[in-house]
A and B are shown apart, each in its own frame.
Chain A
Amino acid sequence: MLQGALAGLAAGGLYAVIAVCLTLMARLVRVVNFSQVAIGMFAAYLAVIFAEQHLPQWAATAAGVCVGAVVSGLIGWIIAQWLPEAGIGARSAVSVASLLLLVSLSFILFGSKPKTFKSLLPGPAFSVGNVVVTQVTVVMVALALVVAVGCHVLLTKSKIGTKLRALSERPTTAELLGVPAKGLSIAVWVGTGLISAAAVSIVAPTQTNDPISLSFIIVPASAAALLGGFRRLDLAVVGGLALGMLQGALAQFEQMSVLRYWVPFLIIVVFLLWTQRKEVWDVAR
């Protein structure tokens, strides 16, 4: 049980990092980015290709992550350019289309079979009793915390954070006040693209890593982000880690594997129904 939960912590860390990225995107640029993990997946696969060209592993990974950030920025640019005033639904629908595009593109470029990823962080970090905690787990949990705290500090303490919050709450007003809306939006896309690409690259060697399985890590990650209502970074982190541990613990029981598939969905539904149990209307008036 505990072993399973700790084994799930690496995935939980990834969920948490992605959930933080999703929350930032939803808050700052009004998009629930369904292609968030697909961008990371694309970057991780590129890194494998680069490594096959006899690039050192770190350099290949770095190059892949950079391309991932650029891809993310490109999608951000498309949305900022053509849908600056659209609602979150229309903007998010674009990310559904780009998820489809990225997954099929990686089938073409990399094939649909899982790749052999070279682990960036091999081996265990330490063990608690007879339970081994891997380096990947430690790094992922740390990364989730660092990203969440870092983003929180950036948003609340820095000048650019103030501008970003202005942009998220009153985009047109912010732009009239001289906040470079488009540039900042794209910067958010590039930033989250970079973070999620790095996170996926670290975890991919330890997961089922065909393009589809990796890309659909978006489902538990968005479940975690929903726990924070796409607003709160701390709850997104806690949700991601808890979800990973729960799935890891359930994985110990073979007969529960079907239930494990439904955990993110059930959590999403129960949580949303609870938080939105009171009647709410679509617009203020």
Chain B
Amino acid sequence: MLRANSFPARGPMKPLAIAVACVLVGWLLSAVLPSYFVFLGTTAIVAMISLLGLGIVTGSAGMMALCQLSFAAVGAWVVSWLNSVDAPGGLMVWLPLGGLAAAAAGVVVGLPALRLRGVNLAVVTLGFAAAADLTLGKIQFPGTQTGIQVARPDLFPGDRRYFLFAVIVLALCSLLVHFLQASRWGSGWKFVAFSERGTASAGTSVTVTKLTAFGASAFLAGIGGGLLSGQVGLVYPSSFTTIQSLALYVLAIVSGSYLIDMAVLGGILWVLVPELLKRFGISQDWGFVIFGALGIQSLTTGSNLGADLRAMWWRRTQGRRKSMEVTSPTAAVPTAVTKPTAARRPASSASVSGSPVSEAGALLSVRGLSVTFGHVTALSEVDLDLAEGSVTGLMGPNGAGKSTMVDALAGFLPQHQGTIQLAGQSLNGLSPMERARLGIRRTFQQDRVPPTLSVGAYVRFIARGQASDKRVEELLAFFNCPPPSTQLARVDVGTRRLIEVAANMAASPRLLLLDEPAAGLSHEEHVSFAEQLVQLPARFGTTLLLIEHDLDMVRSVCNDLVVLNFGEVIASGQRDDVLANPQVMTAYMGELEVS
């Protein structure tokens, strides 16, 4: 719940400073620690880097990846091989090459993830880990039979210096993860974990998002593996067994390694637990029993060390923060400066509201749209024209086909019949992502706002670079939304819908499909939301199709109405004409009241 708190405010200085401080601490440790602990420390750092990778693929992107150490083995193998053929550049060059090779392996293993999710992916990655494990046992690492030790960098000879080198590599990897998590990729990972539909509707490729998660995660594992080969000199497959991969996966869940500091803590646990057992003369195999038990505990309670520690910290500092919020102007929810003073009816000029619209002036033109699910006909031969700059209400009783209509327009029902054109361009055959990029955006009836993001990161992700920070803030203020730094997890569901609308407006869409956006709002919020919606076409040039049940809202916002019942259009045209139509009254009120 509290994960995104770990990412400090934007700006590269603070993380850079922390990284430099960590390297200094590492340098100090390398000087003062007993040599045995220095060696153990390097082992811990290797685990930390692998855990950072798992944090991306498992923690952020929510995919079950059980083969992290197989990727590490790829990195180690490449480094050992480069060493055995005496490739130029030394370990400092081989290390990123090993990482890149592992990333390539990660993308290949991730390929099935494009169509697979959840537990099927776990089966694939476990299969990969088991096969890689057996293969390594057979082929061994280059140089082990001939006894060619992997050469350490000239600058970092000896265990102490090499520890410092490992700390520097860790700091660089942490910075990489930090900036990736704060980037579009990072938002995409958290988005895809929450909703693939939401990701595609934001114009972001689900494929690319998943592959980048796998690639980045495997890259880090490969770096870890390469670092290990420099540490031990001769690499053996026993460092990369499947069971260790599983243990690392469990540890990533227990520690919450999507948080950088928790990946560091996880790496420490990775060596500390077996070391303590050894000190007390207990079999080190108990280490994985402990990890397994902690994993079961963590999974069944849905918590992890990182979240728990942060929740504790948050509770302790909450009082202090509250007093700060009162005095800080940016922390308080802003009153909308641009809030309209009174509801304006949409301009009813012929060019924007005439209905049915002549085809030349239509932004969206739908002909003969039919959708069937098995024997159920959800939509039948629907024709629809939306004039540029109009606000059209899509009404109908429950099950009438409204949301199916929005799904078909947004590209989630490629099996539909009929044609859909946006400004004369056919959309048939285009994916949801391609349609979003052409300027059709949608909001969802269900909550598709990932609570793991901040408001600002969410809006920037949806906007796809279409809006400056200033414009994002303006739009949020326009819709009375909390400021960008707020965590979405702390925002109520009704307000999340408003943020969803604001974010999609930030993408400057040509057509925005709103699926019951006002659900979950209070009456007052309803009224003010209606006032805001009315202004959108004139202010931003966006055409709106609004699914709404609230007749007051429909009356105050829409100039045209389309009414569906049992998948067929029973009335369409100007608002007042449609609302007076007896068929519409029957569909809404039932036979008795009307007759």
Identity of the chain A residue whose Cβ is nearest the Cβ of B63 in the assembled complex: A89
Given A87-B118, A272-B112, A98–B126 Cβ distance below 8 Å?
no
- Taking the complex as formed, is B37 at the interface, i.e. its CB lies under 8 A from any CB of chain A? no
In the complex, how many angstroms separate the beta carbon of A117 from the nearest chain B beta carbon? 21
In the complex, how many angstroms separate the beta carbon of A273 from the nearest chain B beta carbon? 6
Which stretch (A41-49, A50-58, A99-107) binds chain B? A99-107
- Taking the complex as formed, is B57 at the interface, i.e. its CB lies under 8 A from any CB of chain A? no
The answer on a CB contact under 8 Å between B292 and A100 is yes
Contact of B115 among A89, A99, A216, A272 (CB under 8 A): A272
In the complex, how many angstroms separate the beta carbon of B286 from the nearest chain A beta carbon? 6
Mark out the residues of chain A between 226 and 285 whose CB falls within 8 Å of any chain B CB in the assembled complex.
Answer: 226, 257-258, 261-262, 264-265, 268-269, 272-273, 276-277, 279-283, 285
CA distance A277 to B120 in the complex (A): 14
- Taking the complex as formed, is B300 at the interface, i.e. its CB lies under 8 A from any CB of chain A? yes
- Taking the complex as formed, is A189 at the interface, i.e. its CB lies under 8 A from any CB of chain B? no
Identity of the chain A residue whose Cβ is nearest the Cβ of B445 in the assembled complex: A285
Interface residues as binary, B184-207 with A (CB distance below 8 Å gives 1, 0 otherwise): 000000000001110000000000
Which stretch (B246-254, B417-425, B449-457) binds chain A? B246-254
The answer on a CB contact under 8 Å between A285 and B118 is no
Contact of B127 among A92, A268, A285 (CB under 8 A): A268
Main DSSP-derived SS at the B contact region: helix
Which stretch (A8-16, A134-142, A217-225) binds chain B? A217-225
Mark out the residues of chain B between 35 and 63 whose CB falls within 8 Å of any chain A CB in the assembled complex.
Answer: 62
In the complex, how many angstroms separate the beta carbon of A205 from the nearest chain B beta carbon? 21
The answer on a CB contact under 8 Å between B250 and A258 is no
CA distance A219 to B126 in the complex (A): 7
- Residues in B neighbouring A262, C-beta threshold 8 A: 131, 135
The answer on a CB contact under 8 Å between B288 and A282 is no
- Residues in B neighbouring A281, C-beta threshold 8 A: 196-197, 412
CA distance A102 to B124 in the complex (A): 21
- Taking the complex as formed, is A63 at the interface, i.e. its CB lies under 8 A from any CB of chain B? no
Given A222-B126, A273-B112, A282–B196 Cβ distance below 8 Å?
yes
In the complex, how many angstroms separate the beta carbon of B291 from the nearest chain A beta carbon? 6
Mark out the residues of chain A between 56 and 78 whose CB falls within 8 Å of any chain B CB in the assembled complex.
Answer: 78
In the complex, how many angstroms separate the beta carbon of A53 from the nearest chain B beta carbon? 22
CA distance A108 to B283 in the complex (A): 7
The answer on a CB contact under 8 Å between A279 and B414 is yes
- Taking the complex as formed, is A125 at the interface, i.e. its CB lies under 8 A from any CB of chain B? no
The answer on a CB contact under 8 Å between A285 and B407 is yes
Which 10 residue pairs of A and B lie closest in terms of their CB atoms, listed nearest first? A101-B292, A97-B295, A104-B288, A82-B300, A265-B127, A276-B115, A89-B118, A261-B134, A100-B292, A282-B196
Residues on B facing A (Cβ under 8 Å):
62, 64, 66, 111-112, 115-120, 122-124, 126-128, 130-131, 134-135, 138-139, 195-197, 241-243, 246-247, 249-250, 253, 283, 285-289, 291-293, 295-296, 299-302, 403, 407, 412, 414, 431, 445-446
